[in-house]
Amino acid sequence: MKRLILVAWILSSVMLCAEEGMYLIQQVPPKVIENMKARGFQLAADDIFSMKQPSLAQAIINFGGGTASFVSPKGLILTNHHVAFGAAQRQSSADSNIIENGFLAKSMLEEIPAPGYKALILEEVKDVSTQIFKGIKKDLPPQKIYKVTEKNIKEIIKKEEGKSGNYRCQVRYVYGGLHFYLYKFFEVRDIRIVYFPTRNIGEFGGEVDNWMWPRHTGDFSFMRAYVAPDGKSADYAKENIPYTPQRYLKFSARDLDENDFAIVTGYPGITRRHLISTEVDYYINYYYPEGVRLYKKWIDILEEDSKKDKDAEIKNAGNIKGISNSYKNYTGMNEGLQKLDLMAKKKKQEEELLDFLDAHPDLKAKYGDSLPSLMKLAEEEKSLKIKSRMLGIMQRASKLLSSAIDINKWSIEKQKKDIERDPDYMDRNIPDLKEQIELAQRSLYIPSDKKALAFFISESLKLSDPHKIAVLETMIKDKSENGVAEFVKNLYAHSKMVELEYRMKLFDMNRTELLKLNDSFIDFADELQKELDKLKDMQEIIDGKMLLVRPHYMEAVIKQHEGNIYPDANGTLRLSYGSITGYDVKDAITYLPQTTMKGIIEKDTGEWPFNVSDKIKSLYVKRDFDTYMDPELNDIAVNFLTNNYCTGGNSGSPIINKYGELIGTVFDINYESLLSDYYYLPDITRTISVDSRYILFVLDKIDNADNILQELEIVR
């Protein structure tokens, strides 16, 4: 295993395409810093990341599945409207619909809890590869290799988090397991909503405009981080005080022009640039096409109920928003990857690697078997992925089934010592698990839950022989649509899982007590768990093999490119840099890099999702723009494009100018560049952000949020 920890990827000696990189925040290459400075960037490397002094890294927050940033010394947080949407949905009702009408706390006393939200603030990063690989030998059985690695990770995290309750740790690998890093965060558990714009600002254009350019969306919101009076992490309590960040971002109201320098720092989720052709084939020919089909029907189910009932509309809103986002993403990805012919490009890359190894006999002797071995493993994993994905979607579709599976699994895992449990069910995760079961009630609409579960069970029963889910085949005798509907009807009829108090009572029961209940949902979950356990065992065997094979392959690729590659996104803090710029869509069509209020007025139809408020129209007619007007555009700038490299998880990331000031917040990428997760196309890959001046304009002229404006440090 020693070869796995030989670092062959230091990038400081090479210069990459400036806008393409997605660099680990703790290892931005010196050459990249030089390039940024040549473009006018005025901060030093230690201002970006340092463990010795406050840096930009401490101003950027891992937040609610996206990113956020501190923008005041009193713990004020800026993120996207769509990142904060779950908090607004959980606090909404027919009588107080924050989703539609927005929310503004005029003082800290009026700020309301954001259930389920936590802020993770980076404090430390360190290489733990040697500790992860401890005890691993090539001759160990593959599943044992996986288990040893998993246990090493659990022990590192347990030790680093300690017993204070202040810290949250993650271990992430790069280059398929060539290197492992520990990320240590201070965790803030008390997050409150400060400002949430009305839906016709925060989500202007809805799904019609989603992933598209030109955009005119005020996709931003403000929240606040709170801690205990002694500064320690604490759950929500009235006596808690605002968190004082080590670093926060100044808010720029400066003019923005084409070609202006911009950096993005955030927590991008997943890119798949280093997958091989066999793995890409799964995504092109199954994952995306099947996702488009399934998600469209799922959306239809939820929307049908939402049109009939206001309660359903509010409770289903978050689900519809999330699924619709994925649906359009998958549609664009499907189109883009087919058009690009990614398979052909991947096979060409693999041929080039083999040619490189042939030209270097010493490297061929060492790495010649890496690609064939990885291809064999990837083919083996395909069938497993299809079945696992269907089971995963089924759990997500039904909140009751998801809760039942967690409750049942917890009854099994709690019998073990903490270090021997499934990582998701260790003591550190139980409060979050319990909270998710509680929060499910706020978005639980039983008719939709039933229909969605029935639909995905029916789809699972249509899987071909290698992918069939045995428990469903056994339990459901009548596999017709009516038969499945009857099965689901009985599930709900013979369970009290719809009651939150009942679910929480079950969560605290031991294994014997739980099974004695003969609750239909728990019994179903218990049977499904047997299938999930089999899949987990099979996946662990593959993952154990992958721990030996993929790093070996990535070493060969790194040698081929002389270190001139960067790791795929994996939810860790990254930096990309670029500039404000438009792009050519196709022959004779060019998109400019900035949009204005004129575009909002032009899109107005008076109906959702293009319903413009009378106040905005009045301000526009009067040209009451105050100091927020862009001098060249002669209008209020709304959104802008840059050629920074971003992906899912970057939502809410601050976009920063050469002075280190916030000029906007990232909320999307353009439709044409969705495939950049797999293959970077510099001419069309663009990131879309809300202009900081539009944020200030909305706060000031539309919602009179004077308290927020006074708290921001605005630079003009």
- Considering the domain architecture, whether residues 122 and 178 belong to the same structural domain is answered as yes
Max Cα distance, the chain (Å): 76
The tokens describing 5, both together, are 């920890």
Length of the chain, please? 716
In a domain, 685, yes or no: no
In this prediction, residues 3-24 reach a mean pLDDT of: 49
Q: Is 545 a domain residue? A: yes
**Alpha carbon distance 505, 497 (integer Å):** 10
Point out the domain boundary residue: 533, 557, 581.
557
Instruction: Give the pLDDT confidence score for residue 427 in this predicted structure.
Output: 97
Q: Are residues 118 and 224 in the same domain?
A: yes
User: Are residue 246 and residue 287 in the same domain, yes or no?
Assistant: no
pLDDT over 70 (residue 13): no
Closest Cα partner for 71 from 249, 264, 266? 249
Count up the domains in the chain and report the number. 2
Amino acid at 614: D
Residue 528 and residue 471 share a domain: yes
Look over the chain and give the mean of its residue pLDDT values, rounded to a whole number.
95
Tens digit of each residue's pLDDT (9 = 90 or more) over 601-657 = 999 999 999 999 999 999 999 999 999 999 999 999 999 999 999 999 999 999 999
**Residue 196 counted as domain residue:** yes
- Measured CA to CA, the distance from residue 459 to residue 369 in angstroms comes to 39
* pLDDT over 90 (residue 55): yes
Identify whether residues 158 and 233 lie together within a single domain. Answer: yes
Whether this prediction's pTM lies above 0.85 is answered by yes
Q: Is 133 exposed, middle or buried (0-12, 13-18, 19+ CB in 10 A)?
A: buried
| Average pLDDT over every residue of 383-399 | 95
Q: Report the half-sphere exposure of 428 (CA within 13 A, side-chain side).
A: 22
> What is the per-residue pLDDT across 470-497, written as a single tens digit (0 to 9) for each?
999 999 999 999 999 999 999 999 999 9
Output the pLDDT for position 138: 84
Q: Is the pLDDT of residue 280 over 90?
A: yes
**Do 245 and 385 belong to one domain?**
no
The H or E element that residue 297 is part of is helix 288-308
pLDDT at residue number 383: 85
pLDDT at 66: 97
- ω into 593 cis (within 30 of 0): no
Rounded to whole angstroms, how far apart are CA atoms 676 and 678? 5
Q: Do 301 and 428 fall into the same domain? A: yes
Range 96-115 average pLDDT: 97
Degrees (nearest 5) of the Cα angle 106, 57, 54?
Answer: 85
Pair 115, 87: CB distance under 8 Å: yes
341 and 295 within one domain: yes
Residue 516 pLDDT more than 80?
yes
Q: Where would I find the beta strands (DSSP E) of 307-450? A: none
Inter-axis angle of helices 399-413 and 446-461, nearest 10 = 80
Tell me, yes or no, whether 6 lies in a domain: no
Distance (Å, rounded) from C-alpha 342 to C-alpha 338? 7
The tens digit of pLDDT for each residue in 207-261 reads 999 999 999 999 999 999 999 999 999 999 999 999 999 999 999 999 999 999 9
- Known catalytic residues are 82, 219, 651
pLDDT digits (tens, 9 = 90+) for 137-151: 889 999 999 999 999
* 256 assigned to some structural domain: no
- Residues of the domain holding 240: 56-209+216-251
DSSP state of 212: -
- pLDDT value, residue 19: 62
Specify the pLDDT at position 15.
35
**Whether residue 439 is found in the same domain as residue 552:** yes
Digit-coded pLDDT (tens) for 342-361: 999 999 999 999 999 999 99
What's the rounded mean pLDDT across residues 572-577? Answer: 97
**Within 10 A of 232 (CB to CB), how many other CB atoms are there?**
11
Task: Name the domain boundary from 541, 557, 573.
Answer: 557
Burial profile 632-645: b = 16 or more Cβ within 10 angstroms, e = fewer: ebebbbbbbbbbbb
Q: Where is the domain boundary, 528, 557, 586?
A: 557
Q: How confident is the model at residue 16 (pLDDT cuts 50, 70, 90)?
A: very low
What pLDDT, on a 0 to 100 scale, did the predictor assign at position 75? 98
Residue 660 — left, alpha, or beta (φ > 0 → left; ψ -120 to 50 → alpha)? left
Q: Distance of CA 22 to CAs 324, 558, 585, 650, Å?
A: 27, 16, 24, 11
* Same domain? 447 vs 535: yes
**What percentage of the chain exceeds 70 in pLDDT?**
97
Give which of 670, 85, 687 is closest to 333, Cα–Cα.
670
Say what the pLDDT of residue 12 is: 33
- 4 pLDDT band (50/70/90 cuts)? very low
Residue at 87 is within a domain: yes
Residue 347 maps to a domain: yes
Percentages (nearest 5) of helix, strand, coil residues in the chain: 50, 15, 35
Instruction: Let me know if residue 422 belongs to a domain.
Output: yes
Q: How does strand 119-127 pair with strand 179-188?
A: antiparallel
Query: In whole angstroms, how large is the CA radius of gyration of the chain?
Result: 26
| Same-domain status, 317 and 449 | yes
Q: What is the mean pLDDT of residues 288-307?
A: 97
**pLDDT digit string (tens) for 361-371?**
999 999 999 99
Q: Tell whether 96 and 134 lie within a shared domain.
A: yes
Q: How far apart are CA 264 and CA 450, in angstroms?
A: 42
